[in-house]
Amino acid sequence: MAAGLDRPQVVSHAQQALNYTLFDCKWVPRSARLLCLGSAARGSGLLQLYELRGGRLALLREAVWLAGIERGTVKVWDPRQKDTPVANMEPVQGESKRDCWTVAFGNAYNQEERVVCAGYDNGDIKLFDLKTMSLRWETNIKNGVCSVEFDRKDVNMNKLVATSLEGKFHVFDMRTQHPTKGFASVSEKAQKSTIWQVRHLPQNRDIFMTSGGAGSLHLWKYEYPAQRSKKDSEGAEMGVAGSLSLLQNVTLSTQPISSLDWSPDKKGLCVCGAFDQTVRVLIVTKLNKV
C-alpha cells in the first residue's frame, strides 16, 4: 500500500437518502449532475436526475418505467433505431443459457472496430467482435462475473478488469492474445465479499476503484512489467501480466456498494450508490502523486 502522507484519501462530500433500491449511478459529462437508476415498489424502474449544489444534492426530475429481461442474450442498440437491436449475441442452439450480469464496450479506436465484453453468472467471460460478429475470446474465472470494464473503451484494447462474487478480481493485458492461452492476467483477492463494481479513473487509466459487498471501496494502481510480451517455446507471442498495489481502502456503509462512477471532468470526483438506499458523492485526493 502507498505509504505516508502521499496516500490518496477518500473524503465524503455529499450524500442523499433514497426511497428505492439503487442499482447504478452515472455522472452527466460537463455538468455537476448525476443520474440514479434503481427499482421502486412492485418492480418498476426509477430514474432520478440530481444536481450537486455545494454540499448537497438537489433533485431536478424523475421518471418511472417498466422493463423486461431476456436471459442469456446481449443486445446492442442504436438510439436512432430504437425498435430493433443492431447486434444480438445469444447462445448457439443446444448451448445452455446463462444469465449475463455485466457488459462493456472496448477497442473503439476508429469508426469500424468495436468489441463487447460480457460476464456471466457461471464465471464465463466472452469477448465479441462486432465487426466480424464473432466470438473472439472466452475464459472462465470460476465465480459469477459482477463487473467488467476496459481501462478505456476508445483506444486499442489495453487492459480489462473483471470482478467476481467471492472477493476476487482479475486484470487482463489485452494487447497480446496468445493462440491457445489467450490474454495474460494477474488476480487479487481484495476481500471475502462480492466485488460489485470496477471503474477506471478517466484521467489515469492505470488507477481504478472497486466497490465491495462489505460497504467498502478499494483504490488500486496497475504497474506494467518491464516487457509486456514475450515469445513462448514455439515462437508465438504471449502477454506478460503486471502487478497491483493497493493505494487506499475505506468502509462507507454496512450494505454493499453496488454502483460507482468517476466524473469525466473533475479528477478525483466520484459517486457511489449502496443498498442502504443512499447515494454518496466522494472526493479522492492526491491522485497526482501516485
The residue ranges of every structural domain in the chain are 9-69+102-225+235-285
Single out the residue of 105, 40, 85 nearest to residue 67, CA to CA. 40
Cα separation, 215 vs 51, whole angstroms = 24
Q: Which tens digit of pLDDT belongs to each residue from 106-158?
A: 999 998 999 999 999 999 999 999 999 999 999 999 999 999 999 999 999 99
CATH class of 9-69+102-225+235-285: mainly beta
pLDDT at 67: 52
**Residue with the three cell numbers 480489462:** 160
Q: 71 pLDDT exceeds 90? A: no
Cα separation, 249 vs 231, whole angstroms = 37
Cα separation, 238 vs 227, whole angstroms = 11
Q: Which tens digit of pLDDT belongs to each residue from 218-251?
A: 999 999 999 999 999 999 999 999 999 999 999 9
Cα separation, 105 vs 14, whole angstroms = 30
